[in-house]
Amino acid sequence: MDSFIKALLKGLGDIQISRYAQISSSTIIIFDHLITFGEEIDLIWRSSWSLGKILFLLNRYYSLAAVIFNNYGFFSSDISDTFCLQFLHWQGWTALLACMLAEGILQMRLYALFALNKKILVLLLSFFILSTATSGWIMGTVLSSITAKAISIPTGGKFCVPSGVPKHFYMFWIPLLAYECILCALALIKGFQTFRNRGSLFQNGRHLVAILVRDSLLYFFVICATYLTILLVWLLAPTSLLEVPVGFSVAMSCVLANRVVLNVREISREEIPEFSSQKPIVNDYDASFCSPGSLTMFEMEQLRTMRAERALSDIIEDYEYSTPFVAL
């Protein structure tokens, strides 16, 4: 009897921890939305549509929708076993999609940092596809084998409890963590190149590249710590605690990727004040693809500063015969 009571109390404690973790991660996303909403209106909504803008909005508002639905799943008393199974599938694929959106934004950042180097683009896309496909395969196989049950708890309401979770579920995070290491290594390489050649760069271009490198490294360290923590929790913690860290993976990916875009747009406008009144120049700072001939004065200067050793004629020639690209 005592062992049953202890198991019951432990189960209730794990449920409360999961709920508190969900509230905490939701608060991070909502608070960030509130304090950056003015910047979003000024720097995102007033800009022209581009791939970078689309990724930003998807990352920002899909995560917000996930917060709303996840809180319903965690705190609603009107749930069934079928809903619980679908809810667990939703959480699993949402975690992967949030990682993909954030990594997509950072890939575009790195592509801009390396001055549209096609070899870097191929490297990034190859490892991105490999890592997400591997993680997606692991997630799919795991979700196809688990079951879920909506249990009633003494404090009121119901809670979804998974069962049949394979022990290798933690491996889902290994490919994503490995890819983050590749992104960090590239950001470090670019940072080293920037400071080694700082005497040959324009001040504005050097400051902008420094912001790009700083945000990339900050993103990596926080995301790396988040992914590693989730991996260890899924490896060592009991099944009842598996949902505790998932919300934080979505929250950290969402918030940091949003800040990456907002920071570089803000610093771009501050660094080139004479262009701030010209809408086409201020607003097209996304790392996005566009039609030929739309390269602005700011983007031309950034490309020149990030490849200072190349002649201006070479840059223009390369740009005209490559896929059109607008820097962040």
Task: Tell me how many domains the chain contains.
Answer: 1
Q: Which long-range contacts (CB under 8 A, 24 or more apart) does 245-250 make?
A: 245/21, 246/91, 246/95, 247/21, 247/22, 247/24, 247/25, 247/26, 247/70, 248/21, 248/24, 248/25, 248/28, 249/95, 249/98, 249/99, 250/25, 250/29, 250/63, 250/66, 250/67, 250/94, 250/95, 250/98
**Separate counts of helices (H) and strands (E) for the chain:** 10, 2
Predicted local distance difference test score (pLDDT) of residue 292: 32
Predicted local distance difference test score (pLDDT) of residue 212: 56
Predicted local distance difference test score (pLDDT) of residue 318: 44
Is residue 284 situated within a structural domain? no
CA dist 282 to 119, 142, 247, 278, 328, Å?
29, 46, 34, 6, 11
Is residue 117 situated within a structural domain? yes
Predicted local distance difference test score (pLDDT) of residue 137: 95
* Helix ranges (DSSP H) in 144-202: 173-196
Is residue 125 situated within a structural domain? yes
Predicted local distance difference test score (pLDDT) of residue 306: 44
CA dist 99 to 58, 107, 136, 234, Å?
12, 12, 11, 17
Is residue 126 situated within a structural domain? yes
Each residue's pLDDT, cut to its tens digit, for the chain (328 residues) gives 555 455 556 667 778 888 888 999 999 999 999 999 998 998 888 888 888 888 889 999 998 998 899 888 888 888 888 898 999 899 889 989 988 988 888 888 788 777 778 888 899 999 999 999 999 999 999 998 888 888 888 777 788 888 888 888 889 999 998 998 888 888 777 767 766 665 444 444 455 555 555 656 677 778 888 888 888 888 888 877 888 888 888 898 889 888 888 877 776 665 544 434 444 333 333 434 333 333 334 444 444 444 443 443 343 334 333 433 334 4
Predicted local distance difference test score (pLDDT) of residue 319: 38
What's 119's domain CATH number? 1.20.1070
Is residue 210 situated within a structural domain? yes
Predicted local distance difference test score (pLDDT) of residue 316: 35
Predicted local distance difference test score (pLDDT) of residue 190: 75
Predicted local distance difference test score (pLDDT) of residue 233: 87
Is residue 298 situated within a structural domain? no
Range of the domain at 48: 2-274
CB distance 328 to 261 below 8 Å: yes
Amino acid code (one letter) for 53: K
**Residues of 133-155 as b/e, b for ≥16 C-beta within 10 angstroms?**
ebbbebbeebbeebebebeeeee
Is residue 158 situated within a structural domain? yes
Predicted local distance difference test score (pLDDT) of residue 210: 57
CB distance 175 to 134 below 8 Å: yes
Is residue 328 situated within a structural domain? no
